[in-house]
Structure 1
Amino acid sequence: MRNYTKQYINGEWIDSASGENIEVINPATEEVMGTIAKGNKADVDKAVQAAENVYVQFRNSSIEERRNLLDKIVTEYENRKEDLVAAIRDELGAPTKVAENVHYQMGLDHFVAARDALDTFEFEERRGNNLVVKEAIGVAGLITPWNFPTNQTSLKLAAAFAAGSTVVLKPSEETPFAAIILAEIFDKVGVPKGVFNLVNGDGSGVGNPLSEHPSVRMMSFTGSGPTGAKIMEKAAKDFKKVSLELGGKSPYIILDDVNIQEAARAAVMKVVNNTGQVCTAGTRTLVPESIKADFLTAVKEEMANIKVGDPTDSETQVGPIISKKQFDQVQSYIDKGIEEGAELLYGGPGKPEGLDKGYFARPTIFNNVDNQMTIAQEEIFGPVMSVITYNDLDEAIAIANDTKYGLAGYVYGENLDNLRKVARSVEAGTIEINEAGRKPDLPFGGYKQSGIGREWGDFGIEEFLEVKSIAGYYQEG
């Protein structure tokens, strides 16, 4: 049992003002794995005050000081690898290999990328006799989701520290323990008191007062569109800067010149990775009519090879859905797909055979999906693939862009001209060609209802900065 019923505020672990706790459930066992503090407005007020007290001092710290701080964090993060992997496995249900190779590694990569970005980042620029300065925005409120407990926290924290911004972090109450380990890392390496503050709790108790707090200059949020809209509404009352990374319904466009088996394997992994609980999941699989039959055979075979089960089993590739609420939502979408007339090619409602305990869903493939169906337009956040056919490349691009989202897109094929045409035409913040992978120094964010702003690397640092012009700075005295 992990019991962390204190908040980390102003460099100390202190009792939560509420005196209440939240139980955290292991989604693979449905059993309580620990408790955290259920914070409230009083906790938020203390944390924001601590951050505000030191933000000018931290803003004025040197680039070298911040680079050295990030370097120490990287080293201690690596020292805590075993603890981080275990926490993510237990609180999220991520298979051990996924917890290590994806979650742990992505968190580490973001601290490294922010540290390295400081080697070339220009905080000042001379223009004639004038000076343009980029300086930290002040106190930033960070609200992170449950699906990537290290990635989403690390990318925001690393950027804020590199920029010189102080923060108050509210991680998801469903996956809080990785963030608590991060707090322990920061404490050990000597992050100055007040620069980092952790307040655990739920949205109403912590998220709302943080978004509304008059001393918070910026809100950085990753999560659902409806919650992002509420945060934006609260932030608008005193014109806070807002950075939002929201949902997606990303197209995975298969071209007609592919190796069908390899394409099927790649498409399946973009659906089942992290149990489908990925905002960039390529859940709309667009296939040319000319190769559809062969592709369906291959994709069904690939999906059948995916091992769903106990996250502690080294052979497991897909773990449970995070909670009963989310499991029920995934089931409702599968039911909706059947109801709307899509062909159930593989999987379907219910749990995989032999997995009665835990929130395990069956990886599912729908064929003959119309892009206007609910399962093609709404984010399911589970391992559900919707196969949509097209006749030519222009039609594929039109289908890909026919969504309110624009977070990511994927294209797989041989013809470089066609690959590049798709990449330039799909309206999304990130496009991957042939599983190239996303490097942490590339900007990440969305078009349309997928968000506002960009994160990762130097683009992430920019989000925590204000721009000041000083006219006549270099005039002779």
Structure 2
Amino acid sequence: MTLAPPGPPPVLPADNAHLIGGDWVPAASGEVIEVLNPATGQVLARVPRGTAADVDAAVSAATAAFPAWRDTSPSARAALLTRWAALIDERESELDQLESQEVGRPHWGPTPMAGMLRFIAGQADKVSGLSLPAHSPDVLGLTLREPYGVVGSVIPWNAPGPMFANDVGAAIAAGNTIVIKPAEDAPLTPLALARLALEAGIPPGVVNVVTGYGPEAGAAIPAHPGVARMSFTGSPATGSAVMEACAKRIIPLHLELGGKSPQVVLADADLAAAIPAIVRGITLNTGQICAAGSRVVVDRSVHAEVVRGLAEGLASVTVGPWYENVQMGPLINATQRERVLGYLDAGRQEGAELVVGGGVPSGERFDDGFFVEATLFDRVEPGMRIAQEEIFGPVLSVIPVDGPEEALAVANGTDYGLVASVWTSDVGKAVTMSRGLQAGQVAVNAALGAGLIGGPFGGYKRSGFGRTMGADAVLNYTQVKTVSLRGTA
């Protein structure tokens, strides 16, 4: 049965308004961006096309709000974050529907934003310094951890709600104020979360959201002289540009730049557990997840069985708009669909064996959206583009290897190092592989991590540097000051 798509839920703020200093205002230029439903191509909402002028206004508002927010008791900040989390819980269904509409994903379980904010709130009043030894007894030495001031963030479109909560929560818990730009393709959930932050009592100017295009609004944030620290999640090319802007101003930066994550399947793996998890891991959010395990590095002794199982699993994946009972939705936009289809062509041209998928689903219901088929390539060589470059789509590349040593070499043989998985029933092999894999996170017998609370997230190599989500999330938004005190006679 085909259901009629619902409209945007009421948690969304007013049309054509972003948040600057507690006010919902249009862009200074008056221009707008249309946010499209990727399943239908229809307009969901219109948001301001912000530019450097809007960023400047947001930084001014954040600067004005900073002294009072910095001096607010950390316990009071924690209480406001907890209240924000409670409001998110109350509107969870609406927020989930909103993100599903703008990203195109089917429902994938409880939204994580409230839990993330509660975890962060628990750190807000645990930030502490050290007492330091001194050369003489009349000197007292200590360190203080202080916020940077106004911090900036640019987040991507694949998981806008969690990305927003993660960056904003940690930044303001530490006493900073923030200017954040969501992706132009998926700004609606961040705007809705910002609305709830205001309702929770977080003061105006502490959280500012500027919508717009990357080269216009996004680039203006690290370039602004009032921004003291940056966070960026997105592509390596844009990350390099952000890093260059930060280098010019000599401000610290956190980068998370994607991955080409291996699923290492050893000969003794439990294939009944591994195969469906790998299928789910690459089709979740239509493969538009930085941690998606897109390379299956499989021992040759179980290669045929793994390919057969993956082919059956991917062929059975149901595709459609988010409001239907399907497993996979569309890609985010037409550009991303053309990008993914280009990689499918490249895989064929380079000699990989196409097993399943390789195109777009047929039928009138798919004509107006940005759908692609879940795709499996076998006998992929490690140097092929589909094995080296982040596709950001539901495309699996199977690379057969002979034994754990070759598996480790192939798994590490890309410029990325975000996430890796190992499938084995041998604890010794699991330990060896976990130590040897060049990745910021390694999951044993799980496709997208094992469901940890507070596990630090970040990359090796071209996947970026810095960590979020862990026990140091709030500390990472502070800088250390050394103080020495000497009494007077």
TM-score bracket relative to the smaller structure: over 0.9
| Deviates most, 357-366 or 108-117 | 108-117
The CA distance in 2 between the partners of 1:109 and 1:397, in whole Å, is: 35
Distance 2:44 2:20 in 1: 24
Indicate yes or no: 2:119 matched with 1:108. no
Q: 1:93 aligns with which of 104, 121, 135?
A: 104
Counterpart amino acid of 1:460?
Answer: A
Q: Which residue of 1 aligns with 2:136?
A: none
Given that 2:152 and 2:230 are in contact with CA atoms closer than 8 Å, whether structure 1 keeps it comes out as yes
| Offset of residue 406 of structure 1 | 0.6
Matches within 5 A, 1:65-464: 65-95=76-106, 97-98=107-108, 100-101=109-110, 104-105=111-112, 107-118=113-124, 121-128=126-133, 129-313=140-324, 315-352=325-362, 355-435=366-446, 436-464=449-477
Aligned partners of 1:310, 1:8: CA distance in 2, in Å?
A: 30
Structure 1 outlier segments of 4+, above 4 Å? none
Provide structure 1 residue ranges, at least 5 long, that are not aligned to the other structure: none
1:20 corresponds to which residue?
31
Q: How far apart, in 1, do the equivalents of 2:65 and 2:40 lie?
A: 43
Moved more, 206-215 or 125-134: 125-134
C-alpha displacement at 1:262, in angstroms? Answer: 2.1
Aligned length: 469
1:261, 1:299 within 8 Å by CA — same for their partners in 2?
A: no
Q: How far 1:476 sits from its partner (Å)?
A: 7.5
CA distance in 1, matches of 2:455, 2:406: 29
- In the alignment, the residues of structure 2 paired with residue 140 and residue 461 of structure 1 have an alpha-carbon distance, to the nearest angstrom, of 13
Q: 1:112 to 1:290 in 2, by over 3 A?
A: same
Instruction: Report the 3-state secondary structure (helix = DSSP H, G, I; strand = E; otherwise coil) of the residue aligned with 1:36.
Output: strand
Counterpart Cα distance in 2 of 1:161 and 1:439? 24
Contact persistence 1:351–1:361 (CA under 8 A): yes
Letter in 2 for 1:318: M
Contact 2:21 2:58 (8 Å CA) reproduced: yes
Quote the offset at 1:460 in angstroms: 1.9
Paired with 2:484 and 2:424, the residues of 1 have a C-alpha distance of 53
What one-letter code is carried by the residue in structure 2 that aligns with 1:133? L
Partner amino acid, structure 1, of 2:352: A
Distance across 1 between alignment mates of 2:404 and 2:147 = 45
One-letter code of the match for 1:232?
A: M
Cα offsets for 1:113-164 (capped at 9, x unmatched)? 1012336x33222123211111111111111100001111111011112111
Distance 1:32 1:122 in 2: 44
Aligned with 1:53: secondary structure? helix
**Partner secondary structure for residue 4 of structure 1:** coil
Structure 1 length normalisation: TM-score?
0.95
User: In structure 2, the residue corresponding to 1:151 is in which secondary structure?
Assistant: helix
Residues 127 and 475 of structure 2 are in contact (CA less than 8 Å); yes or no, is this contact kept in structure 1? no
* Matched letter for residue 464 of structure 1: Y
Flag the 1:187–1:176 CA change in 2: closer, same or farther, 3 A: same
Name the SS for the 1:22 alignment partner.
strand
| TM-score, L = length of structure 2 | 0.93
- RMSD between aligned residues: 1.5
What is the DSSP-based 3-state SS (H/G/I as helix, E as strand, rest coil) of the residue aligned with 2:331? coil
Deviation at 1:463, TM superposition (A): 2.2
The 1-side partners of 2:237 and 2:408 are apart by 27
Equivalent residues of 1:144, 1:172 under 8 A apart: yes
Deviates more, 1:122-131 or 1:151-160: 122-131
Per-residue deviation at 1:342? 0.2
Alpha-carbon contact 1:261-1:295 (below 8 Å) kept: no
